[in-house]
Structure 1
Amino acid sequence: MTYLMRKKCLYDGMEVMRFETLAKRLMSFRLIRLSRVLNYVLSGWPKELDGPALLPYWYRRRELTVLDGCVLWGARLVVPPQARKRVLEEVHKTHPAQVGPTLEQVAQSCDRCQAHRMTAPLHPWVNPGRPRARLHLDFAGPFMGKWFLILVDAFSKSLEVHPMHAATTRATVKILQNMFATHGIPHVMVTDNGCVFTSVEFGDFMRGNRITHVTSAPYHPATYGLAERAVQTFKGAMKKMETEYSSLESKVDRFLFRYRLTPHATTGEPPAVLFMGRRPRSRLDLMHPDLAQKILLKLQRQKQDHDKTCRERTFKVGQHVFVRNFSKRCKWLPGTILERTGPVSFCCELTDGTVVRRHQDQMRNRITTGKVGELAPAPGADEEVLDDLEDGTVTGRASISNVQNPADASVGQTAEPEEKHPRSEEQPTSSEMIAPTMEPVIRRSSRTSKPPDRLNF
């Protein structure tokens, strides 16, 4: 570069300034600011400056050098103020990219640079935050003999395609009315400046539904680029399915189904998930394990293992039962089922009129013998209830001698048809079932206590 600048040459009729020229001009202006900088670089900088004019050079004094009478800042040449305009014109001769504020000012004053400036920085649309808040509309067609109205949701990127015979305002409004009845009215709708969207009828439809209608700048499709990209995606997919032997409507449905299940490049989620909050089922889901069926099989196996040691127990309304008591008196109390409150829970009325709610595990079958105060457990009753009966802790009878089996009750009494079938007789009232309660007898263990055997070492 130094060799080229030292060499005298012509470029588009303009003579390139050489190092010697810059040095002569610098030496001819020794009393100006840059001359003092040159002297300070060669002889040393003073401890204090007499003014703020040389502060920019003072801060960079350790980076300044002198070469052939010219001041260099690193590898760059410090140009005198009198020669800067010509140097800038030489640098901007081929209209390069602007670097620095000085060259930016030169480019702004250049007509050619202003006519060929780069596009403005991208200004993306604001994310609406929820589905169906802003819709982008555009027409595709005529394509495959029809027009297609394409709608894109700005939040979920969900796509809708509606085939049309003609792109008219009345047909467009009818499709939008059907869509609003299903998904609601959006806040904003973005379109281009087509005749359908700028018509009076379409404007009245927007104002009537309180929708903000935003149109793009004329001949600037990047404003509604979301809809334009959707049109290109739809056309490309339909062209790839031209060889398939199916109707146009079937192809559109299959395209939308696959598109809505495919993760979008912007959101990273399928449009159907963001739009509906769930992933629709597809044939590919059959390849995944069914969690619900797995849980059902586990529950069925758990029930089978549990029911191996259990007996089937059924109760009905009006049936006499023993109800588990959780107070300090006795464990089981007689009662009658009033209603079923669940698959395995019931409300029962005790002999004293108290209504309690119990699980079927807390209930036992009970059969009355026909006499007031005489109760008998049902055949196959649990051993725990029988133990309570033998201990004299079940209320509703006078003594242990009154408790007997249904088979023995028919032998010691006068045979009557009603007593042979105690379940078919009229159920006694609660007052008839109450008998004097005996005080519980405190029993002590009769086991002989033996002293423990100890090892005597």
Structure 2
Amino acid sequence: MGNRFILILVDHATRYPEAIQLRSITSPVVGRALMGVFTRMGFPKEVLSDRGTNFISTYMKSLWKECGVTYKFTTPYHPQSNGLVERFNRTLKGMIMGLSEPLRLEWDILLPCLLFAYREVPQKGLGFSPFELMYGHPVRGPLSLVKEALEKAPSKPPQDVFSYMLALRNQTARFRGLAQENLEASQEDMKWWYNQNATLVEFQPGQKVWAMVPVEPRAL
């Protein structure tokens, strides 16, 4: 049996996504996939996810504890409380569905390429790509190759390791600071537009209300 599931992780600060193809979603399988990411990127301080049984099992609770991770749940029936992941889910699904039929059947093989394409494109609200915010410099991908061919820019002179690391640290901090400013400005704009048509609704204790529970199809 081939891969049927995708485990999605998104870093809140940089919007940098990880997507791991899985054959099953049992706690041990998910745990091994998470450790594969943690051993490359480092252990996060906090993890936010839905209340799936594979995330709240005894096995996973032990993993969170050993890794020093504070685990938080999304609000029941309200996936928007983990909006970054939900939006990336929709984007990735759209990218897969946009493939031609033969390629769509090999989505798990092409998944790294789809991730690469997403990571190198600047985010609208941040002004930088997820790769830039994570690593402090643009990734050399297809867009860079086109730019290099057009500009025919000469190669930069080599730097010693200390100078390179110092410049990289400063540039990463500057990128993330600018991204935060762009995000806050974008959020203020969205808040203003939302408030133009928003209506305050107050409910009384014991009052009955309708609750809409959105259900998305699982299959691609």
Structure 1 residue 250, shift from structure 2 partner: 3.4
Which letter maps to 2:116? Answer: F
Alignment of 1:148-159 (within 5 A): 148-159=6-17
For residues 134-153 of structure 1, the aligned pairs below 5 Å read 146-153=4-11
Q: Does 1:213 align with 2:71?
A: yes
Q: 1:158 to 1:199 in 2, by over 3 A?
A: same
For 1:102-144, what per-residue CA distance to the aligned partner results, in whole angstroms no more than 9, with x for missing partners? xxxxxxxxxxxxxxxxxxxxxxxxxxxxxxxxxxxxxxxxxx9
Contact 2:3/2:21 (8 A) holds in 1: no
TM-score, normalised to structure 1's length? 0.32
- Give 1:107's aligned residue: none
- Structure 1 residues 250 and 292: alpha-carbon distance in aligned structure 2, compared to 1, 3 A threshold: farther
CA displacement, residues 394-442 of structure 1 (integer Å, 9 cap, x when unaligned)? xxxxxxxxxxxxxxxxxxxxxxxxxxxxxxxxxxxxxxxxxxxxxxxxx
What residue ranges of structure 1 are gaps of 5+ in the alignment? 1-143, 296-457
- Secondary structure of the corresponding residue to residue 76 of structure 2: coil
Q: 1:275 to 1:243 in 2, by over 3 A?
A: same
CA distance 1:194–1:265, shift in 2 (3 Å): same
Residue equivalent to 1:284: 143
User: After superposition, what is the alpha-carbon deviation per residue over 1:356-413, rounded to whole angstroms, capped at 9, x for unaligned?
Assistant: xxxxxxxxxxxxxxxxxxxxxxxxxxxxxxxxxxxxxxxxxxxxxxxxxxxxxxxxxx
- Residue aligned with 1:281, SS: coil
Match of 1:265 in 2: 124
| CA deviation after TM superposition for structure 1 residue 280, in Å | 1.2
Query: Residue 117 of structure 2 aligns to a residue in which SS?
Result: helix
2:139 maps to a residue whose letter is P
State the alpha-carbon separation in 1 of the partners of residues 75 and 132 from structure 2: 33
- 1:218–1:283: structure 2 CA closer, same or farther, 3 Å change rule? closer
Q: 1:264 to 1:244 in 2, by over 3 A?
A: farther
What whole-Å deviation, never above 9, does each CA across 1:48-80 have from its counterpart, x for those lacking one? xxxxxxxxxxxxxxxxxxxxxxxxxxxxxxxxx
Percent same amino acid at aligned positions? 26
Structure with the larger strand share: 1
Say if 2:48 and 2:73, in contact at 8 Å, map to a contact too.
yes
Q: What is the CA distance between 1:232 and its match in structure 2?
A: 1.0
Q: Report the residue type matching 1:291 in the other structure.
A: A
Q: Say which SS state the counterpart of residue 39 (structure 2) adopts.
A: helix
- The structural deviation recorded for 1:244 is 4.8
Please tell me whether the aligned partners of residues 216 and 224 of structure 1 are also in contact (alpha carbons under 8 angstroms). Answer: yes
Which SS does the other structure have where 1:285 is aligned? helix
Root mean square deviation, CA, Å: 2.0
1:293 Cα deviation (Å)? 4.3
Task: Please give the per-residue CA displacement for 1:139-196, whole angstroms capped at 9, x wherever unaligned.
Answer: xxxxx96110000010110111101011110011101111111111000000111111
| CA positional deviation for 1:245 | 3.7
Separation (CA, whole Å) in 2 of partners of 1:287 and 1:205 = 44
**2:28 matched to 1:195?**
no
User: What secondary structure, in the 3-state scheme, does the structure 2 residue paired with 1:214 have?
Assistant: strand
Task: Determine if contact 2:27/2:57 at 8 Å carries over to the other structure.
Answer: yes
What letter is aligned with 1:270? S
**Deviation for aligned residue 1:222:** 1.5
Among 230, 240, 258, which residue is 2:98 paired with?
240
Q: Cα 1:232–1:245, aligned 2, differ >3 Å: closer, same or farther?
A: closer
Aligned pairs for 1:109-128 (under 5 A) are none
Cα gap change, 1:232 to 1:294, in 2 (>3 Å): closer
Greater C-alpha radius of gyration: 1
Look up the match of 1:371.
none
Change (3 A) 1:293 1:276: closer
Between the two proteins, the alignment pairs up a number of residues equal to 152
For 2:3 and 2:69, the matched residues in 1 are separated by: 32
| Greater relative contact order (Cα < 8 A, sep 6+) | 2
| Amino acid corresponding to residue 166 of structure 1 in structure 2 | S
The 8 Å contact of residues 190 and 216 in structure 1, kept in 2 or not, is answered as: yes
TM superposition shift of 1:290 = 3.7
